[in-house]
Amino acid sequence: MTLGIEAAVAAVGAGIAITGGAIGTAIAQSSIGSAGLGLIAEKPEEMGKALLFLVLPETLVIFGFVIAILILLGFGVI
């Protein structure tokens, strides 16, 4: 099976979409995680709130994955 240059560019674009979402999530979670641990150290009853704020940036990876799937479907790669 041979794919054209359009499919190759679509695959690279899908990779960039997932990578961008992962890097954005890592940057967000690094600061949220340290602040959340400081909050838990002072007020252990606030652990649920800190955990919720830590999980919220994970949606960036999910959005990147959905965009990558849409790109690949649009160009007929998958």
**All structural domains of the chain with their residue ranges:** 19-71
Taking the model in full, what pTM does it have?
A: 0.81
User: Does position 68 have pLDDT exceeding 80, yes or no?
Assistant: yes
Query: Rounded mean pLDDT of 39-46?
Result: 95
Q: How far is CA 47 from CA 19, 32, 43, 44, 56, in A?
A: 29, 13, 8, 6, 14
Percent of the chain with pLDDT over 90: 90
